[in-house]
Structure 1
Amino acid sequence: MITRAGWGLAAASALVYAVGAPFGYAQSAVLAVAGLAAVGAGALWTLRGAGLSVRREVTPVKVARGDPAVATLHVRNTGRRRHSGLVARDTCRGTSVTVEVPSLASDTARTVSYRLPTRRRGETPVGPLVLDRTDPFGLARRSIAYGRRDLLLVRPRTVTLGPLNAGRQRHLDGFASRSAPGGAISFNGLRDYVIGDDLRHIHWRSTARTGVLMVKELTDVNLPSTVAVLDTRHSSYEGDDEFELAVDVAASVACSVTRDRFPVRLLTGTGELLHAKGGPGESEEVLDRLAVVERSPDAEPPLHALRRAGSGGTLVVVSGTFAALADAASVRRRFDLVLYVRVGDPTEGGMPGAAGVNVIEISDLDDLAGAWPN
């Protein structure tokens, strides 16, 4: 492809010939031919086979929003001639990253690294990688795509939060949870035998009395549960920055719970996003799910999600407005502790209150740990 400089030289050559030829100036014809020949030579230079092997690596493939992510290019000259004037262009979610590739002698390799933009959360395609080859005078350029697209997952930022202490007990021995591990020692009731149940838990007296295999249901009585509701309505946030902060808050809450091996349900305006039961590695799943959450014009108000939230444990509602505070207050009797987190600039006149609801207002994620109740 002829560059802007190449087209300019071709136009200037034609103009010189058009002005000088009618007056019999032979020099004008020589200059015009030389200019056009330079443009043609540049085009032929770029048409020559590249003879390059290019490989890209993205490290890491999952990164928190704002943290560095690096792409590394491994370029090898497999031809017999030296390559110079190479420029690599990579596309990362609409942003073009330009990298200069040093001159390569025959059968030599170079490694070039460059940072990728991670300001926006979500699945970020990287590529395709385009290598631009220009002639020594910059009159022509040839662009060749190499390799495949890589995927960079930009996940929410998080801060570590302490466990929330609920003040009500729903079991004689403490909190009861049906998602407890089978090795728990607290008896919570009897149920019919299901294939796969541990035979050691069969209650033989009840089995003899009923004629049906009955199994003891054991629970972990000290296993607190948490429900986190993220408001995903467009009208609840002034802009993308406020919504990104809300996602960071929801991720911090859910990850802090799962790291302590406690169950958590994560709800949005479009339904349940995740139900973690306290198993190992669930924090990674929380971050992966929240990495792709977006605001939706069809999102329901938090009250609709709260109706499906069950009862017991702790409820955390995250929103960019206080409009859903009344919804949280309306269900406070169903939970041991209700916490409402409003993100964004501080409201004029102070924070509104609601009976039975702990209200937090933050404008930065670093403020969350300090405002978090102990």
Structure 2
Amino acid sequence: MRATPPPAPRQRLTAVLTPLGWGTLAGSLALYAAGFALGYPEPVVLATGGLLALAAALAWTAPRPRLEVRREVTPLKVPRGDAAVAVLNVTNLGRRGLSGLRAQDRIGAAEHTVDLPRLPKGAVRTVSYPLPTDTRGEIPVGPLLLVRADPFGLTRRVRSYGSPVTLLVRPRTVALPVPPSGRAHHLEGPTSDNAPSGTVTFHTLREYVVGDDLRHVHWRSSARTGTLMVRQLIDASLPTTTVVLDTRDLTELAVDAAASVALAAATAGFPVRLVTGDGPVPDAKDPETVLDRLALVRADTGGVTEPMRLARGGGSLVLVTPDPAEAGRVAGVRRRFDRVICVYVGPGPVAVPGVTVLPIGSLDALPLAWGSR
């Protein structure tokens, strides 16, 4: 996935003195004062040299460079630990070559600096640099600043280009079969044509594709968006997978395991409910939104006992927790669900009567444990 943000209005700043430039100016004025006060010509000569250097530096950075600058982040959504890069393209549209260019891109709380080689007239320079993906969540990238400094580092001109973008680092996942629910019907996935009467319900809106029933067209949304939209219906009798993620002492292994389970059900077209210590996670209905929502989950102090008790019953309940006590409490709701599974990511063995407990120490161990349940 590649995204090129639309060019934003560029901020033009006049050439300004750097701290070294201000120091040179102050030193030159002090030398002038000392030279005239004491009657010595040497300080005056040194001060004149400093001021001439400042004048040359200002003349170097004062011309406004004509540049076309684009920074692309690809991909915009990436599993934790996978590669993501920023690609910077700079084109010199001016009549003369440019040197002393430096790009400064803010990535999260850090700043990444890239020194650009000399740009002859009409030349294009492309540089890329990796983006950090070790931490799950949103990572703002930008604004991008292009700095042109003189060879002495006395002055510089700074301009911003483009708009900031957001890199979304999602949980890692592994492939799993659909969680068992104890119900054998409708294993082929949701349908709206052959579903038993009264079990079909609205799921979401999507764009029309050839072959869709025109009776399902949502005309109000189609008029508002300018694109033909249809109602996507699901068979409400399909078993729902409820994934409960214990967010106290949250670990990345727990989030990855919950994402893998929820993704398996959503990819197969079965209804999914996500629940954390803060309660149900809204709009986690399809594979993309499941990963997007779990990318933003953070640790909290609330347990999942109450959210789990209030969760709608039926289908499978999968609890992901590092807490043995929380794993024991899931037995209290097992009668409301067709199947209860606890993915335990904590230390030591855990056994809960009536509950299938899958202890794992790494995400790679989840498929094997899942297949042996």
Please give the range of the TM-score, normalised by the shorter of the 2 chains.
Answer: 0.7 to 0.9
- Name the % identity: 46
Q: Which of 252, 268, 271 is matched with 1:260 structurally?
A: 268
Q: Say whether the 8 Å CA contact 1:263–1:276 is kept in structure 2.
A: no
Match of 2:319 in 1: 317
Change (3 A) 1:219 1:252: closer
Shift of 1:287: 1.1
Q: Say whether the 8 Å CA contact 2:79–2:172 is kept in structure 1.
A: yes
Aligned pairs for 1:156-171 (under 5 A) are: 156-166=171-181, 168-169=182-183
Match of 2:94 in 1: 79
Match of 1:351 in 2: 349
Q: Say whether the 8 Å CA contact 2:244–2:276 is kept in structure 1.
A: yes
**Secondary structure in 2 matching 1:132:** strand
Shift of 1:253: 0.6
Q: Which of 113, 117, 122 is matched with 2:128 structurally?
A: 113
Q: Which runs of 5+ in 2 are unaligned?
A: 1-15, 203-212, 216-233
Change (3 A) 1:358 1:31: same
Q: Say whether the 8 Å CA contact 2:318–2:342 is kept in structure 1.
A: yes
Match of 1:292 in 2: 296
Q: Cα deviations across residues 205-224 of structure 1 (Å, max 9, x unaligned)?
A: xxxxxxxxxxxxx9798x54
Match of 2:224 in 1: none
Q: Which of 271, 276, 279 is matched with 1:271 structurally?
A: 279
Runs in 1 of length 4+ with deviation above 6 angstroms?
A: 189-192, 218-221
Shift of 1:276: 6.4
TM-score (structure 2 length as normaliser) = 0.77
Shift of 1:156: 1.4
Shift of 1:137: 1.5
**Secondary structure in 2 matching 1:68:** coil
Quick one: distance in 1 between partners of 2:153 and 2:359? 56
Quick one: distance in 2 between partners of 1:190 and 1:255? 27
Q: Which of 26, 36, 42 is matched with 1:27 structurally?
A: 42
**Secondary structure in 1 matching 2:292:** helix
Change (3 A) 1:315 1:373: farther
Shift of 1:131: 0.6
Q: Which of 333, 336, 347 is matched with 1:334 structurally?
A: 336
Match of 2:363 in 1: 365
Match of 1:207 in 2: none
Match of 2:254 in 1: 246
Match of 2:74 in 1: 59
Match of 1:181 in 2: 191
Q: Say whether the 8 Å CA contact 1:123–1:292 is kept in structure 2.
A: yes
Letter in 1 for 2:242: V
Quick one: distance in 1 between partners of 2:168 and 2:284? 21
Change (3 A) 1:3 1:183: same
Letter in 2 for 1:356: G
CA RMSD between the two structures: 3.2
Q: Which runs of 5+ in 1 are unaligned?
A: 200-217
Change (3 A) 1:353 1:275: farther
Quick one: distance in 2 between partners of 1:71 and 1:359? 42
Q: Say whether the 8 Å CA contact 2:283–2:289 is kept in structure 1.
A: no
Change (3 A) 1:30 1:198: closer
Q: Cα deviations across residues 92-127 of structure 1 (Å, max 9, x unaligned)?
A: 221211112221112222222111122222232211
Quick one: distance in 2 between partners of 1:191 and 1:84? 68
Quick one: distance in 2 between partners of 1:3 and 1:301? 53
Q: Cα deviations across residues 295-324 of structure 1 (Å, max 9, x unaligned)?
A: 345xx5312222332333221111232232
Q: Say whether the 8 Å CA contact 2:148–2:158 is kept in structure 1.
A: yes
Q: Cα deviations across residues 32-57 of structure 1 (Å, max 9, x unaligned)?
A: 21013212331342232122121111
